[in-house]
A and B are shown apart, each in its own frame.
Chain A
């Protein structure tokens, strides 16, 4: 690996509260090449905030500091809003959790996807149309011409999520951040959506950050995993070696999941006092 796609060093995100500033991400460091990185953790572990700070999406009064936050050599923290708009979507894009709340309810699917594309590139109308249809086909939507004319409320959750993926990938970004892309979806649809992301990411040689609370899912779709708890990375390991994880928190999470051939009478629960977190 030559220059990494993304370099993060000592990333801190804090918010003010009545009792002073609270850090929700406490000195996170990692580098990302053209690979698939999973960030796992429970609610409040700071995983989503990490994803958002890479896109500089944390608004005041939230505060982001880092010794280094570089995307292909560009210092993200130094960019102004205008410069960020050229990066967001075009070079780094993000798939959000719930298609119901993330798609514009008063624009058709086709218009929304077109907007993502023409914001960053000047293209003829015909070409835009063609790209939209190709993209919808790429996310395995049958009959893309019909779907492009639908409004978000007319499509199912799984289809909505595929539309969002289409929208995020059509400007051909180099890095995709997927924040819980499937937690609002059915189990049977989850695998389909992740397969599509996986396929497109591998084919285009993009970097992927998959943020999720689901250890099993992340280990299946990523090369490397960061386990976060209370704003810190407690463990980093190769996805294949997740079952050999050492940290008691990771082990606790793994053990707390029921399995399909469950024989335990009681599930072990985490002793929260042990990690001085929330």
Chain B
């Protein structure tokens, strides 16, 4: 079954249309990357799926069910997002424990203490971090918390918006390994936005190259590894990385 299906998706912010007619199908268990430069609309697609950019037309289906425009609790349970900046995406005055418990409270799920403990273990954080505040953690630790928060509701799909671009290379390696392991263990589907092609090569199965709000090419990672991208713009991106 498809984890995510986008049909003729147009997304606007006010009068400005930023994504034009995107069609995409991500099967369950796949790790799919959206690449392209700033302003190409890749993050906007994630935001629309997550419900953060409600002005869209077309169709967004999650695990076979079309998504509505408003807040959709079922979608929240199945799809969660990890944001780029671990410094900006955690509430500064909430402890890790309360940040992680909040989604459980909203969805009326019990057994919170145990669940928080379990998820911290999954993302490789020691229990002593549980009652700390975000400012007491390093960037890599915070990104682990952000991933843990996304995993709280046991979703099937993770939307990853540049999950490692704010991190040092050695920390990036740790987070990439973590994401790869989580995907294997929980059979997650990833839709990841990045402009780092080597990261795509490490973590993803397929990629879509975007420009000016449109998908210009969808390719296999094998093609990326061999430098076998067809469109001139994709080749340009590849050249900028490989140079």
> Could you tell me if B236 and A188 are in contact, using CB atoms closer than 8 angstroms?
yes
CB contacts (< 8 Å) of B37 on chain A: these are: 186-189
User: B202 at the A/B interface (Cβ < 8 Å)?
Assistant: yes
> Could you tell me if A269 and B177 are in contact, using CB atoms closer than 8 angstroms?
yes
> If the complex has contacts A260-B242, A267-B176, A267-B177, are A42 and B170 also in contact, measured as CB distance less than 8 A?
yes
One of A98-106, A161-169, A201-209, A249-257 contacting the partner:
A249-257
Q: How far is the CA of A213 from the CA of B169 in the complex (A)?
A: 8
CB contacts (< 8 Å) of B242 on chain A: these are: 260
A257 to chain B, nearest CB (A): 5
Pick from A42, A186, A265: contact of B195, CB below 8 A: A186
> Could you tell me if B173 and A259 are in contact, using CB atoms closer than 8 angstroms?
no
> Could you tell me if B202 and A262 are in contact, using CB atoms closer than 8 angstroms?
yes
> If the complex has contacts A188-B37, A258-B198, A260-B197, are A269 and B240 also in contact, measured as CB distance less than 8 A?
no
> If the complex has contacts A187-B240, A267-B176, are A262 and B198 also in contact, measured as CB distance less than 8 A?
yes
User: A266 at the A/B interface (Cβ < 8 Å)?
Assistant: yes
CB contacts (< 8 Å) of B61 on chain A: these are: none
Q: How far is the CA of A35 from the CA of B237 in the complex (A)?
A: 30
> Could you tell me if B199 and A258 are in contact, using CB atoms closer than 8 angstroms?
yes
Q: How far is the CA of A28 from the CA of B7 in the complex (A)?
A: 58
For chain A, the bracket of interface size reads 20 to 34
Interface 1/0 per residue, A33-52 and B, CB below 8 Å: 00000000011000000000
B177 to chain A, nearest CB (A): 5
Interface 1/0 per residue, A181-207 and B, CB below 8 Å: 000001111110000000000000000
> Could you tell me if A188 and B240 are in contact, using CB atoms closer than 8 angstroms?
yes
Interface 1/0 per residue, A262-278 and B, CB below 8 Å: 10111111100000000
Q: Of residues A189, A190, A214, A267, which shows the largest number of chain B Cβ atoms within 10 Å of its Cβ?
A: A267
Closest to B224 in A: A260
> Could you tell me if B38 and A157 are in contact, using CB atoms closer than 8 angstroms?
yes
Q: How far is the CA of A51 from the CA of B38 in the complex (A)?
A: 29
CB contacts (< 8 Å) of B243 on chain A: these are: 191, 220
Q: Of residues A191, A257, A260, which shows the largest number of chain B Cβ atoms within 10 Å of its Cβ?
A: A260
> Could you tell me if B170 and A258 are in contact, using CB atoms closer than 8 angstroms?
no
In A208-255, the 8 Å CB interface with B consists of 213-215, 220, 252-253
> Could you tell me if A266 and B237 are in contact, using CB atoms closer than 8 angstroms?
no
In B198-243, the 8 Å CB interface with A consists of 198-199, 201-202, 224-227, 236-238, 240-243
> Could you tell me if A268 and B173 are in contact, using CB atoms closer than 8 angstroms?
yes
CB contacts (< 8 Å) of B227 on chain A: these are: 260
Pick from A256, A260, A270: contact of B225, CB below 8 A: A260
User: B72 at the A/B interface (Cβ < 8 Å)?
Assistant: no
> Could you tell me if A215 and B177 are in contact, using CB atoms closer than 8 angstroms?
no
In A52-88, the 8 Å CB interface with B consists of none
> Could you tell me if B196 and A266 are in contact, using CB atoms closer than 8 angstroms?
no
In B36-78, the 8 Å CB interface with A consists of 37-39
Q: Of residues A252, A262, A266, which shows the largest number of chain B Cβ atoms within 10 Å of its Cβ?
A: A262
User: B172 at the A/B interface (Cβ < 8 Å)?
Assistant: yes
CB contacts (< 8 Å) of B237 on chain A: these are: 187-188
Q: How far is the CA of A1 from the CA of B225 in the complex (A)?
A: 44
CB contacts (< 8 Å) of A269 on chain B: these are: 170, 173-174, 177
User: B29 at the A/B interface (Cβ < 8 Å)?
Assistant: no
In the A-B complex, list the 7 residue pairs whose CB atoms are closest, starting with the nearest: A256-B173, A267-B173, A258-B202, A258-B198, A262-B201, A42-B168, A261-B225
| Interchain Cβ contacts under 8 Å between A and B, 11 examples | A42-B169, A157-B38, A187-B196, A187-B240, A188-B237, A189-B37, A258-B201, A260-B197, A262-B225, A265-B180, A268-B173
